[in-house]
Structure 1
Amino acid sequence: MRQYLAAIVVGIAITFLSMPSSAVARTRLIVNCFWPPQHFVCTKVLPGWIEEVERVTEGRVTANIPPKSVSPPPEQLASVEKNLVDAAVQFNGLIGNRVSGALTGMQPFSGSRDSLAMTQAAWETNRKFYPDEFGTVELLAQWVITPGDLYSGTDTPIVTLEDFRSRKMWALPGPLANIAKEIGAGVVATPAVRSNEVIANGVVDSHLGLNGDGLKAFQVLPYTRSMTRFSRPVYSTSFSFFVNKDKWAEISPEDQQAIRGVSQDKVGMVAAGLWDSVSREVLAGFGDLGIVELTGDPDLEAALVSAAEPTTAAWKAKAAEAGIDGEAALAFYRERVADLSK
């Protein structure tokens, strides 16, 4: 009898050991996407990361994306911390009270028109200067998107400082709205998702801060007549992608390492590339839409740079309070952007 039972135990053990590793230990992540379901972050970026994670962990870690966002955009970090979802993307501008280093790539006149270069530079800056800033979650990737520009909704473009001061414009809240006010423009500041109602209804005659993807997504191209650019982009925005700490702890160290090894490439760099691709496509159609591209006068650019200085000074002070050398981090970021940009 004992031999019989022993044989059964051995047989069960052999069967268990021969089972695929995915059947032995499996972690499923709920990955939130706050963009509309048809946006490429929800259809390409995050699904591509999930596929890669399942590949490198041999199925031990899987994931799914809910059909609609579990929480509004400002609450992505909080939703992960509260275990409402296991992973999410956060617009860093909405958590400036929580993090400082993540805003390095959002400092005015610090980027280029190459999102891949800015994203690579931002990640290198994070690893070098503040790798542990996101202490409540496991940070896996960051990226910086195509810069926004200055647009006129009338047949008169905005080229000079006087042109700028004469306008009532929509601007993204925060640095861009502050810069525009400092120079003397009338400003209506709302989140990007509400830009259409302000621009389309004629509340303003110009807008500042949308890139090609934003122009398309928020349907403001019909109300845009010209675009003004400067030698350096005025401003760009950045995002962070992270996983809940407790959920991350369920994953083996080997699989954690494998996931870290693919996340920045499969999330950060892919997202940056897609933003640039969509923006290029939209800008390529300007001619057919009768939208003119111009270059701003040096005096206007100088005024914008000067008006941006308080924003960066305040950021450096807050970074210092968090133990981050903002001066060195920003200098490193700008140098890497210049080196990496096409």
Structure 2
Amino acid sequence: MRQYLAAIALGIALTFAGVPGTAIAKTRLIVNCFWPPQHFVCTKVLPGWIEEVERVTEGRVTANIPPKSVAPPPEQLASVEKGLVDAAVQFNGLIGNRVTGALTGMQPFSGSRDSIAMTEAAWETNRKFYPDEFDTVELLAQWVITPGDLYSGTDTPIVTLEDFRSRKMWALPGPLANIAKEIGAGVVATPAVRSNEVIANGVVDSHLGLNGDGLKAFQVLPYTKSVTRVSRPVYSTSFSFFVNKDKWAEISPEDQQAIRDISQDKVGKVAAGLWDSVSQEVQATFDELGIVEYTADPELEAALVKAAEPTTVAWKAKAEEAGFDGEAALAHYRARVADLSK
């Protein structure tokens, strides 16, 4: 009798296994995080997205984050394309040879000090002008982070154009380094992760481009005496979050849409908000640390704006080559940032 019942049960199971919609296909994603494991992208942003993905797909899509990055920061896109990991975040400035639209939010003097506003404007601009730019992966979110500022490592602040020209400063590679060189400062350009060794060892006497999170993460606050602000932030950086195409194809269309629907809010906006929060917390300690705030002389700000023009001109030319209207895209982004900023 038991054998008879077992046979019936097996027959029923096999029958239903062949019926469309009865089998639950599960997909597990490996989500890379190139920041240090204690950084909020690794501890809050990506885990929060994973939790939400599991919720909206009712457990059909799950994910985990390796304990350490499987690839260096410049190789995040390549690592996803090759299938070394299934999803990752890429700093867009490191893939400027691959994408152009993603750099819209990184054009000088285009942003504000409201990262969520810049992030919303960047995503709207992406959807409107270049939604298919990331054609080798599935793009799920983008964000723009708190702008960096100009800092002096000596007791003399950088307020005038001559102050700027007299300095040897660390700057982020790319537009910021080019702007500083154009004005006449001596420049040492390295990735942000190497800023501490340059600043702490006295190779430079000032630095340009770190925001509050960067000051804290790269431990350069002890070597910072003052900060100089301009009326509009000189420059900010942006990131993209994407999934491997083949792995994405394993997910049902319904679950794909559910994941798309939550990703920009749960990754882009969350990341932007956390960057602003950390930066504000760090800036709140400036008085206690003796870091004095100054406003740039109008002549210095005008020189920075002028020195930035070649960067945007070159970017617009690349946009035309890429097949979209860079002038219109940038105008749209700037207008939306102004509208959305607090």
- The residue number in structure 1 matching 2:287 is 287
Q: Distance in 1 between matches of 2:63 and 2:15?
A: 29
Give the Å deviation of 1:8. Answer: 3.8
Q: Percent identity?
A: 87
Q: Distance in 2 between matches of 1:110 and 1:10?
A: 65
- The residue number in structure 1 matching 2:301 is 301
- The residue number in structure 2 matching 1:175 is 175
Q: Distance in 1 between matches of 2:341 and 2:239?
A: 19
Alignment of 1:201-280 (within 5 A): 201-280=201-280
- CA deviation profile, 1:153-194 (whole Å, cap 9, x unmatched): 001100000100010000000000000000000000000000
Q: Distance in 1 between matches of 2:87 and 2:62?
A: 12
Q: Distance in 2 between matches of 1:303 and 1:102?
A: 26
- The residue number in structure 1 matching 2:96 is 96
- The residue number in structure 2 matching 1:335 is 335
- The residue number in structure 2 matching 1:12 is 13
- The residue number in structure 2 matching 1:197 is 197
- CA deviation profile, 1:199-225 (whole Å, cap 9, x unmatched): 001110000000000000000000000
The alignment partner of 1:24 has SS state of coil
The aligned amino acid for 1:12 is A
Q: Distance in 1 between matches of 2:253 and 2:161?
A: 56
- The residue number in structure 2 matching 1:131 is 131
User: How many residues matched?
Assistant: 339
Give the Å deviation of 1:324. Answer: 1.4
- CA deviation profile, 1:212-260 (whole Å, cap 9, x unmatched): 0000000000000000001100000000000000000000000000000
Give the Å deviation of 1:11. Answer: 3.0
Q: Distance in 1 between matches of 2:165 and 2:323?
A: 38
Give the Å deviation of 1:279. Answer: 0.1
The aligned amino acid for 1:11 is I
Q: Distance in 1 between matches of 2:71 and 2:324?
A: 30
- The residue number in structure 2 matching 1:158 is 158
Q: Distance in 1 between matches of 2:301 and 2:234?
A: 9
| Residue 188 to residue 252, structure 1, CA distance change in 2 (3 Å) | same
Question: TM-score of the superposition, structure 1-length normalised?
Answer: 0.96
The aligned amino acid for 1:181 is K
| Residue 285 to residue 4, structure 1, CA distance change in 2 (3 Å) | closer
Give the Å deviation of 1:4. Answer: 7.7
Alignment of 1:134-145 (within 5 A): 134-145=134-145
The alignment partner of 2:28 has SS state of strand
Q: Distance in 1 between matches of 2:287 and 2:150?
A: 17
Q: Distance in 2 between matches of 1:129 and 1:36?
A: 34
Structure 2: which 5+ residue stretches go unaligned?
none
Aligned-residue Cα RMSD (Å) equals 1.9
The aligned amino acid for 2:73 is P
The alignment partner of 2:209 has SS state of strand
Alignment of 1:15-164 (within 5 A): 24-164=24-164
The alignment partner of 1:210 has SS state of coil
| Residue 46 to residue 5, structure 1, CA distance change in 2 (3 Å) | closer
Question: TM-score of the superposition, structure 2-length normalised?
Answer: 0.96
Q: Distance in 2 between matches of 1:195 and 1:17?
A: 59
- CA deviation profile, 1:9-43 (whole Å, cap 9, x unmatched): 5532587699x98x721000000000000000000
